[in-house]
Chain A
């Protein structure tokens, strides 16, 4: 009943909007529902709306009225951007005709092709795009849970957590210790933790030059490692200590009440503890029943379509697709492929071969930017890397400055590509 009434009302609304084109009953437009308004979801909604030229109804479900990008949130930590500059709203997407619903998607009924919202509303869909980003794996760092995130922030979803971490770093006692518990693979934004270390080091260098930074890392290696280590040596000599798995980095627990990190059984007292736990697809992907044992949603490499459901597409961090890193750039790239595939199915528009790419810029110190990137193509089993590049150690200051400036241009470009 609810469904029918909503459909009826929705149809009325569109009919009155398009005065010159009276609606014919039974010829409602195909409806695409997009869950998540980040780099994957916002881009998908925008391209679906823009390119279908009115042939599709598009609904975007996002709980936040203002979306804060996780990418560039480290630059806020380092004092290179203000917090507001990370915030984006959905007004331009709504102006295009996308129905923006500020709510949480709480359920997916794949048989009935419906999505349930936090307020109890039920939306029907012809195609569903799931782009919820990440959630954290419970108990991946013993002693840490979301309950202690106010004491030991993750700051790995941009917003109040990012602000909390910054205020904690600024309040650190002189000569104090900042600890990061780095995540195991795969996780969002591979260079992110290490860019964050650089930004914290930059803050400490200015305000707290005797401060120390410890990284406890379960990984043997990390993204752009040679570049970061070169930069830390050059700009923050003696400040940063990386503790890999051979020294106990994989055997870490935390105690929020005493602000301790326990490494191989030995307690280390710290002043700030940034715990970035192991990650999995945002919860709605699991709720929809499209995730694998590792907690990610496998997709068809050629289209980003869920391997579990032909009416569902999964974008960005939540997807298990192969070689692409979990990044805003990747999600944006995948969204365009999925939008094209969905349009092709629902409106018979031309479908071109999928192509994907990614570049991740990181800032090490003022005007010292580096980047890593690759192009990708679908194969039978996965999205596979075709060609890649990475900044080199020893690059001159002018090139590093230009790389940083390029990253600012990219931020401006991708946020316009997402939010209009």
Chain B
């Protein structure tokens, strides 16, 4: 399988856009959709109802200015690159996805990077489908669905006690730095409350892997999770 993909990728490279074949020099967008669901969708949305969550939505990312979405709080380096006039191109997306912190030191994106070039080109092909072919969006609705199970609305509706959350957060800040930097451990600043609550409940129910987080979340009540979410939603702004 890998051999064939490599072979095809090589062909596409040499032949460019072969006539009559809807060859995508970028890679297999369907495979990209799978990768997106698995590795990106916890933070990024894409598709008709996509909105900014932990990460910015990715509709129309091709050609977009770095840090260019209104209403999303980007890292300073990302804003700076945007201010310098940098747009997202295939090459830049490729470099960023391969090694986010190598491409953009100081980025808030807590993603290790994708080393496999075929995977990256597949993912970029998928992203491009949502950029320059907006008419295709309705057909690809499944990719826009959240991968997380929805929590009961009453849990999401709990209004968090941010002062209690501040106390509880002292348990988080042993590892998650209060200045929002992330070196081996992700930043949890300014997450939308719903995402924070969802993530913590997923650790609690062990849908998400990570023994420390499963333990930490495991003993938090619904109210305590809401309190933390309320505190972190605005902390550091």
Per the 8 Å Cβ criterion, residues 355-404 of A in contact with B are 355, 357, 359, 371, 373-375, 377, 386-389, 391, 402
Task: Give the CA-CA distance A405 to B101 in the complex, in Å.
Answer: 14
A359 near B212 (CB under 8 angstroms)? yes
Q: Which residue of B lies closest to A406 (CB)?
A: B184
The interface size bin for chain A is 20 to 34
Tell me what chain A mostly uses at the interface: helix, strand, loop, or mixed. helix
The residue from B163, B177, B216 contacting A412, defined by CB atoms under 8 A apart: B177
B212 near A373 (CB under 8 angstroms)? yes
Task: Give the CA-CA distance A357 to B175 in the complex, in Å.
Answer: 12
B164 near A355 (CB under 8 angstroms)? no
Known contacts A405-B184, A412-B184: A352-B164 contact under CB 8 Å? yes
B170 near A414 (CB under 8 angstroms)? no
The residue from B163, B181, B212 contacting A371, defined by CB atoms under 8 A apart: B212
B171 near A336 (CB under 8 angstroms)? yes
Task: Give the CA-CA distance A373 to B210 in the complex, in Å.
Answer: 12
A-B pair count, CB < 8 Å, reads 82
User: Any chain A CB within 8 A of the CB of B2?
Assistant: no
Residues of B within 8 A of A296 (CB): none
User: Any chain A CB within 8 A of the CB of B215?
Assistant: yes
Q: Other than A350-B167, A386-B219, give 19 A-B pairs with Cβ distance below 8 A.
A: A47-B170, A336-B170, A350-B163, A352-B164, A352-B167, A359-B212, A371-B211, A371-B212, A375-B218, A388-B215, A389-B215, A406-B185, A409-B185, A410-B175, A412-B177, A413-B174, A413-B175, A413-B176, A417-B173
A357 near B182 (CB under 8 angstroms)? no
Known contacts A375-B219, A405-B184, A406-B184: A389-B214 contact under CB 8 Å? yes
A409 near B182 (CB under 8 angstroms)? yes
Task: Give the CA-CA distance A357 to B211 in the complex, in Å.
Answer: 13
Q: B161-193 CB contact bits vs A (8 Å, 1 = yes)? A: 001100110110111111101111100000000
Residues of A within 8 A of B177 (CB): 412-413, 416
Known contacts A389-B214, A417-B174: A408-B163 contact under CB 8 Å? no
Task: Give the CA-CA distance A388 to B176 in the complex, in Å.
Answer: 20
Residues of A within 8 A of B178 (CB): 416-417
Task: Give the CA-CA distance A117 to B176 in the complex, in Å.
Answer: 36
Known contacts A352-B164, A352-B167: A408-B174 contact under CB 8 Å? no
Known contacts A340-B167, A406-B184, A406-B185: A373-B215 contact under CB 8 Å? yes
Task: Give the CA-CA distance A375 to B171 in the complex, in Å.
Answer: 11
Task: Give the CA-CA distance A333 to B173 in the complex, in Å.
Answer: 10
B219 near A410 (CB under 8 angstroms)? no
Known contacts A352-B164, A375-B215, A387-B215: A408-B183 contact under CB 8 Å? yes
The residue from B173, B174, B182, B184 contacting A329, defined by CB atoms under 8 A apart: B174
Known contacts A413-B177, A416-B179: A357-B185 contact under CB 8 Å? no
User: Any chain B CB within 8 A of the CB of A407?
Assistant: yes
Interface size for B (C-beta < 8 A) is 26
The residue from B174, B181, B183, B214 contacting A414, defined by CB atoms under 8 A apart: B174
User: Any chain B CB within 8 A of the CB of A332?
Assistant: yes
A410 near B171 (CB under 8 angstroms)? no
The smallest C-beta distance from B184 to any residue of chain A, in angstroms, reads 3
The smallest C-beta distance from A169 to any residue of chain B, in angstroms, reads 27
Residues of B within 8 A of A410 (CB): 174-175, 184-185
Residues of B within 8 A of A329 (CB): 174
11 residue pairs A–B, Cβ–Cβ below 8 Å: A333-B171, A333-B174, A336-B170, A355-B171, A375-B215, A387-B218, A405-B184, A409-B182, A414-B175, A416-B178, A417-B174
Residues of A within 8 A of B175 (CB): 406, 409-410, 413-414
Residues of B within 8 A of A373 (CB): 211-212, 215
Q: Which residue of A lies closest to B170 (CB)?
A: A336
Per the 8 Å Cβ criterion, residues 30-64 of A in contact with B are 47
Q: Which residue of A lies closest to B227 (CB)?
A: A352
Task: Give the CA-CA distance A374 to B219 in the complex, in Å.
Answer: 11
Residues of A within 8 A of B214 (CB): 389
Known contacts A408-B184, A413-B176, A413-B185: A375-B216 contact under CB 8 Å? yes
Task: Give the CA-CA distance A410 to B181 in the complex, in Å.
Answer: 12
Task: Give the CA-CA distance A414 to B167 in the complex, in Å.
Answer: 16
Residues of A within 8 A of B181 (CB): 412
Residues of A within 8 A of B182 (CB): 409
The smallest C-beta distance from A376 to any residue of chain B, in angstroms, reads 10
Q: Which residue of A lies closest to B164 (CB)?
A: A352
Question: Which 10 A/B pairs are nearest by Cβ-Cβ distance?
Answer: A409-B184, A409-B185, A389-B211, A405-B184, A336-B170, A413-B175, A408-B184, A352-B167, A410-B175, A413-B177
Task: Give the CA-CA distance A351 to B24 in the complex, in Å.
Answer: 61
Per the 8 Å Cβ criterion, residues 320-363 of A in contact with B are 329, 332-333, 336, 340, 350, 352, 355, 357, 359
The smallest C-beta distance from B165 to any residue of chain A, in angstroms, reads 10
